[in-house]
């Protein structure tokens, strides 16, 4: 007779279960706060079922429509019925908003058509709908309905890249007056790169000074670096407004010492200058701390050894110290750049119209226009940029060097 089946893998198996139990809260936390929101964003950027759920039979009739002429009477009849139903179910507003994003002016036409159709019980529906609004005699509205009726679509990504899909399936650039996202994206990348460079220029000597100081002095300097972390982001940003505004502290000081005239005060706030200054200050600690962590592990005797072998201070720095600090430079630069391209509060408060970044447009579509699909697509583009940046970092320095010293 066969012996009992063992359901356990022994002490080793139970130890693995205990270890899994210890890390389970962290895994759940990561899934709930990071993986799930990120996945939801990516799904929303390509999935939009609102029109497909409201006009299923109309879209089925439009499957074979080539867009060269107006649809048949049966399509008008079905559209009239489903417009009435969507009005009764109070979903027509969402449908009209999505169609309006493809071709402006259609939201009012669709909602007006629904109001007028309430008193019409029988066709001919083509004549009735075109009499209500002439837009129904234009193939453009039917193309807009057909386009937005796709449950899975790349339309939001085309818009995020200032492109549009035509009825023949080709993809072309948006009209000049609608090309805003690539320009904002390019501005965001340039400003983030500049902020990263400025943070490196300012943070490298600060981190080196802390690394070469005595423990008590290093602690004091680290406290000064960490002070911004202990202050509200809103308070820090408001302080820069006080300092940089036309009647602010810095302009008053420059006028007092005679460097500028009272009528020639500098515009340093509510523009790109204010955005760069405030964001560099906010993100500077994220550059200093990785640099300090790496520099503190570099023996100071190496520079002395290089000098004893005849190297000048510049040669010793470039050939001995700088290469060993590159992991800190890479980690700090990666951290600052990624934070900069997604910053929202600081550009919104101090940037004005000239200092707005792509993050402000994402916030606009999330809070004002309610075009969550486009906002998600813009976020997806930023995510792709971050992944490319990480791949470049891995190729140049290696993932194993992303550690902060030790």
Write out the DSSP string of 132-198.
H-GGGGSHHHHHHHHHHT-SB-SHHHHHHTTEEE-TTS-EEEPPGGG--HHHHHHHHHHHHHHHHHH
Distance between CA atoms of 335 and 393, rounded to whole angstroms? 11
- For 286-322, letters b (16+ CB in 10 Å) and e give bbbbbbbbbbbebeeeebeebeeeebeeeebbeebbe
Both tokens of residue 327?
């992991």
Q: If pLDDT is split at 50, 70 and 90, which confidence band does 376 have?
A: very high
332 and 203 Cβ atoms separated by less than 8 Å: yes
Residue 1 has pLDDT above 50, yes or no: no
pTM for the structure as a whole: 0.84
Lookup result for tokens 């679509």? 153
**75-84, 376-385, 393-402: range with lowest mean pLDDT:** 393-402
In this structure, are strands 171-173 and 163-165 parallel, antiparallel, or unpaired? Answer: antiparallel
Distance between CA atoms of 280 and 199, rounded to whole angstroms? 6
How far, rounded to the nearest angstrom, does the alpha carbon of residue 90 sit from its chain's CA centroid? 32
How far, rounded to the nearest angstrom, does the alpha carbon of residue 236 sit from its chain's CA centroid? 22
Distance between CA atoms of 271 and 248, rounded to whole angstroms? 15
Q: Which helix (H) or strand (E) holds 253?
A: helix 249-256
Residue 11 has pLDDT above 50, yes or no: yes
- Give the three-state DSSP class for 398: coil
Q: Which domains does the chain have, with CATH numbers?
A: 50-153 (no CATH), 181-401 (1.10.3720.10)
Q: If pLDDT is split at 50, 70 and 90, which confidence band does 400 have?
A: low
CA angle 82, 83, 85 (to 5 degrees): 60
DSSP 353: T
Interhelix angle for 322-341 vs 372-396, to 10°?
180
How far, rounded to the nearest angstrom, does the alpha carbon of residue 285 sit from its chain's CA centroid? 22
Q: What is the pLDDT of residues 151-181, one digit of tens each?
A: 999 999 999 999 988 777 788 898 888 889 9
Both tokens of residue 63?
């499957």
Q: What is the pLDDT of residues 271-290, one digit of tens each?
A: 888 889 999 999 999 999 99
Q: What is the pLDDT of residues 51-103, one digit of tens each?
A: 999 999 999 999 888 877 889 999 999 999 999 999 999 999 999 999 998 88
- Give the three-state DSSP class for 47: strand
Average pLDDT over residues 190-214: 94
Q: Give the residues across from 196 on adjacent strands.
A: none
- Virtual CA dihedral for 348, 353, 357, 358, nearest 10 degrees? 100
52 and 69 Cβ atoms separated by less than 8 Å: no
Residue 342 has pLDDT above 90, yes or no: no
Distance between CA atoms of 393 and 128, rounded to whole angstroms? 62
Average pLDDT over residues 366-371: 89
113 and 133 Cβ atoms separated by less than 8 Å: yes
Lookup result for tokens 């049966």? 74
Distance between CA atoms of 60 and 66, rounded to whole angstroms? 13
More confident residue, 10 or 361: 361
- Average pLDDT of the chain is 87
Distance between CA atoms of 390 and 385, rounded to whole angstroms? 9
């Amino acid at each position: 007779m066969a012996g009992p089946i063992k359901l356990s893998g022994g002490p080793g198996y139970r130890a693995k279960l205990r270890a899994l139990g210890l890390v389970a809260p962290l895994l759940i936390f990561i899934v709930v706060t990071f993986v799930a929101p990120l996945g939801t964003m990516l799904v929303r950027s390509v999935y939009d079922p609102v029109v497909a759920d409201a006009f299923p039979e109309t879209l089925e009739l439009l499957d074979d429509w080539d867009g060269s002429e107006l649809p048949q009477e049966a399509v008008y009849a079905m559209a009239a019925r489903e417009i009435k139903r969507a009005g009764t179910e109070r979903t027509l507003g969402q449908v009209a908003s999505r169609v309006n994003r493809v071709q402006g002016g259609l939201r009012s036409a669709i909602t007006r058509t629904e109001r007028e159709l309430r008193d019409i019980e029988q066709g001919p529906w083509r004549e009735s709908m075109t009499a209500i609004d002439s837009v129904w005699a234009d193939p453009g509205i039917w193309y807009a309905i057909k386009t937005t009726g796709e449950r899975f679509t790349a339309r939001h990504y085309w818009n995020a890249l200032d492109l549009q899909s035509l009825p023949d399936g080709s993809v072309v650039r948006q009209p000049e007056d609608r090309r805003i996202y690539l320009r904002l994206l390019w501005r965001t990348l340039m400003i983030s790169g500049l902020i990263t460079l400025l943070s490196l220029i300012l943070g490298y000597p600060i981190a080196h000074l802390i690394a070469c100081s005595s423990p008590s002095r290093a602690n004091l300097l680290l406290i000064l670096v960490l002070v911004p972390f202990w202050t509200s982001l809103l308070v820090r940003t408001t302080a820069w407004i006080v300092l940089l505004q036309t009647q602010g502290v810095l302009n008053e000081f420059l006028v007092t010492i005679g460097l500028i005239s009272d009528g020639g005060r500098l515009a340093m706030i509510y523009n790109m200058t204010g955005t760069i200054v405030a964001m560099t200050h906010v993100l500077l600690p994220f550059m200093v701390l990785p640099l300090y962590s790496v520099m503190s592990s570099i023996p100071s005797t190496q520079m002395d050894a290089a000098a004893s072998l005849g190297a000048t201070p510049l040669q010793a720095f470039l050939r001995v110290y700088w290469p060993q600090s590159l992991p800190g430079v890479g980690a700090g630069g990666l951290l600052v750049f990624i934070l900069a391209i997604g910053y929202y509060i600081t550009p919104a408060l101090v940037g004005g119209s000239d200092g707005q970044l792509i993050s402000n447009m994402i916030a606009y579509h999330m809070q004002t226009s309610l075009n969550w699909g486009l906002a998600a697509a813009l976020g997806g583009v930023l995510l792709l940029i971050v992944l490319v940046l990480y791949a470049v970092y891995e190729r140049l320095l290696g993932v194993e060097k992303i550690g902060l010293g030790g």
